[in-house]
Structure 1
Amino acid sequence: MPIDYSKRPTGSQSNTGPVSLNKVTLTKSAPSVSLSKQGGGGRLHVNLNWNVQGAAASAGRGGFLKRALSGAQGGIDLDLACMYELSDDRKGVVQALGNAFGSFERPPYVQLDADDRTGASAGGENLFVNLAHVTEIRRLLIFAFIYSGVPNFDQAGAVVTLTPAQGAPIEVRLDEQAGSARMCAIALLTNQGGNDLVVNREVRYVGGHQELDQTFGWGLNWTPGRK
C-alpha cells in the first residue's frame, strides 16, 4: 500500500524547540550532515525528481518537468532505490526491479512508495526510512538507475531531497559528468554512535548493480531481474 507522506507517522512527537528549516545542500566541499543534528527524527522521506535542462525555460514553467523528460528522451524510466545493511548483518536492496519494495514497519525499515515508469508523476519517486528503528540500521546507500531509455543523466537535472519529519531538507544534486553510465550512487547513510545516521554525498556514476556493489563492498549476489 502506498504511504501517505503528507501525514506524520503515528506516535511522532511535536517539536520541543526551534528547528531550522533552511535547505541543506551537500557539495564536494561540504559533503556530510548528521540527521540528529538537523533535528530529524521519526521518518526520512527521500525524493528523486528530474527535468530536461532547458525544457523548463522553453515551456515557460518552473519545477521539475518530468513529462518533458519522458517525451524528449523517448520515455526514460529513472528509478530510485536503496541498498541496506542492518545491524544483524542482513543485507539487501529495495527497488522496483524484482518488486522488492521493502517495508516501513518491518526490516529493512525502508519502503519504496511506487514505481513511476513514465516520468509523468509530478511527485517523482519516493522512498521512506523508519528512523524509529535507526539502531537496527548499519548503513543505507541511496542510488538511482535508468531502467529503460537513453542513458542521459547529464541532461536530466536530477535532484534527490532527503527530508526528516522534523528537520531541514537535505539536497543532493546529480551534477557530476555521467558519460554513458546508467546508475548513480547518490548518498551513503552510515550509523554513528548507534542512534544517528550521517548522510554523505557520493554522486558516483557506475555501470550497474554489480559495479555499485563492488564499489561500496556490499557483498550481495545479483541475478537478472525485470519489473
Structure 2
Amino acid sequence: MAKGTNAVVPTTAVRVELEWGAGPGVPRADSVALLLVGGRVRGDADVIRPAGPGRPDDPGAAVRYEDGRGGNGRVTDTLAVDLARVDDAVERIVLAVSTASGTFGQVSRPGVRVLDAARGAELARFDCTDLTVETSLVLGELYRRGDGWKFRAVGQGYGEGRRALAEDFGVTPTALAPAPDAPPPAVPTPPSSLPVAPAPSPPRAPARTPTPDPPATPVRLSKVTLTKDAPAVSLAKQGGTGGTLRVNLNWGVRERPQDRGSRWRRLTAPHRNLDLDLCALYELTDGRKGVVQALGHAYGALHAPPYVHLDGDDRTGAAEGGENLTINLDHRTALRRVLVFVMIYEGADSFADLHATVTLRPQHGAPVEFFLDECTVTAPVCALALLTQEGGDLVVRREARYLVPEPGIGIQRAVDHAYGWGLNWTPGRK
C-alpha cells in the first residue's frame, strides 16, 4: 500500500503485525496501540502495550498483544483484534512504534501487516521508507467506516518522540514510557585445546551508534506558519490526507501601557465577560450551504454532513482549551469550501486590543499556525482561514481579514456578503 491509501477489512477477527529491523547499532523500538474516541484516548486503559512487568494482558480483551518475536534481523509484535467486540465508542485504533534512543532513519523498513486471523491471509501491508529523524511513528490505523472497518497506511512520524505522540492523542507520558531493556544474552566462550591464562584486555571505547545529521525539518517537527508572503498550504503535502483537522483559537488581552508596557496577558479564567466565538461557513459539493456556530446551537456534525463540528463555547481563551472546531478530512471530497471565522460576542468592541493564535492541527502532518495582532480598525469579526477543494485536496489559505459591518448589518451577514455565501440570516441567541 502507498502512504495515505486505505483498504476494506473484510473480516472482524484480524491479526496485526508491527515489525521493524533490529541488530547491532540499531535503536531498540517498541510498539503501542491506541483506542481513540473523538481523536483521543479516554485513559490509560485505551493504551495497549505488550505484556510485561506492570502491564498485565487481558486474554479476553478485544485488542490485545498476542506475542513478540525476533529473528533474521527483524522484530515483530503481534496484536489480536476482534473488531466485532471493540467498544462502540472507539472510532479508531492507531498503531505506532517509538525508539528508546536514536531515530527511525537507523531502523530498517518498519511496517505493518493486517491478516485474517482465521485463514492467515494477508489483507493489507504497508512498509515505511525514506525515514530520517523520526523517533515515534504512526504506521497505520484501523477505523470505522459505516458498519465495517478499514485500514489506512499512515506513515507519519514525530521528531519529538513519545512526547509528541502523547500530546496528539491525550496519553499520559507514563503510559508511553519505554519498556525496560532486556538483559543482553550471554555470549558463549569458544572451547580451547589448552588452558590459557586470560590476557588483560585493553580498554575499549564505547560502541558508537551512528547518528544522522541534526535535523532542520523533521516530519512533524515544527509548525507551518502562514504569513502574508506565504499565505497558503496544501494539507495533502503536509500529510493531512485523512483523519481530522482540529482548528484551535486561543487569545489574550493587551495589558494597559502603564502595566508592564502593553504586554500580552493570556486569559486563564473568564475576564471582563470577554467571549469570542469560533464559527464556520460551509459549502458542500452537492450545493448545500450553512453555518456552524454556538448561536442557535448549530454545532454541526463530524461523521455526517457538514463534516464540521464545533466542540463547544469557551470563554477563557486558554492555550490548552480555547475554542475548537473539527473537520473530518475523511470526507474532504464532500467539502467545496469552508470559511473559518471568529466574532466577538461580548466583552470587547474590536480585535484591536486582542491577540489571538489560530492553529490548524491535522491528525497526520505538521500543524499550521498564524497570528492575529494586526487589527487597526474597529472590527468585531475576522475571517481566519479559507479551505477550498482542489482536486481532492484541501488547500488552507490564511485570510486574517478584519471586517467592519455596515450599519444595520449583522456580523455573520457581513462575513457572508464578503465571501458571497448567500445564506438567509435571522436573529439568534446562545
What is the TM-score normalised by the length of structure 1? 0.87
1:30 matches 2:230 = yes
Aligned to 1:37, what secondary structure does the other structure show?
Answer: helix
Residue number in structure 2 paired with 1:16: 155
* 1:138 CA displacement: 0.3
Aligned pair partner of 1:43 in 241, 244, 268? 244
| Distance 1:64-1:39 versus aligned 2 partners, 3 A rule | farther
* Distance in 2 (alpha carbons) for counterparts of 1:64 and 1:138: 38
Aligned to 2:326, what secondary structure does the other structure show?
Answer: strand
Residues 94-126 of structure 1: CA distance to partner in whole angstroms, max 9, x if unpaired?
000110000000000000001114557841010
1:200 matches 2:401 = no
Which structure's residues are more often strand, by fraction?
2
Q: Which has the larger radius of gyration?
A: 2
Residues 23-43 of structure 1: CA distance to partner in whole angstroms, max 9, x if unpaired?
011110000000000011310
* Distance in 2 (alpha carbons) for counterparts of 1:36 and 1:131: 10
Residue number in structure 2 paired with 1:136: 334
8 Å contact from structure 1 (residues 142, 188) kept in 2: yes
* Distance in 2 (alpha carbons) for counterparts of 1:121 and 1:46: 12
Aligned positions of 1:72-151 closer than 5 A:
74-117=272-315, 119=317, 122-151=320-349
Aligned pair partner of 1:213 in 416, 424, 427? 416
8 Å contact from structure 1 (residues 83, 140) kept in 2: yes
Which structure's residues are more often helix, by fraction?
1
Aligned pair partner of 1:6 in 40, 45, 49? 40
Aligned to 1:210, what secondary structure does the other structure show?
Answer: helix
* Distance in 2 (alpha carbons) for counterparts of 1:158 and 1:104: 25
* Distance in 2 (alpha carbons) for counterparts of 1:66 and 1:85: 33
Residues 139-197 of structure 1: CA distance to partner in whole angstroms, max 9, x if unpaired?
0000000011122312221011000001101012112224221110000000000x210
* Distance in 2 (alpha carbons) for counterparts of 1:96 and 1:199: 23
Unaligned runs of 5+ in 2: 1-36, 42-89, 93-142, 144-150, 158-218, 406-410
Unaligned runs of 5+ in 1: none
8 Å contact from structure 1 (residues 81, 95) kept in 2: yes
* Distance in 2 (alpha carbons) for counterparts of 1:54 and 1:149: 15
* 1:13 CA displacement: 3.8
Number of matched pairs: 217
| Distance 1:97-1:17 versus aligned 2 partners, 3 A rule | closer
Residues 36-79 of structure 1: CA distance to partner in whole angstroms, max 9, x if unpaired?
00011310000000012359xx79xxx972237x42xx211101
Bigger shift: 150-159 or 199-208? Answer: 150-159
Residue number in structure 2 paired with 1:226: 429
Higher relative contact order (CA 8 A, sep 6+): 1
* Distance in 1 (alpha carbons) for counterparts of 2:91 and 2:247: 15
- Over the matched positions of the two proteins, sequence identity in percent amounts to 53
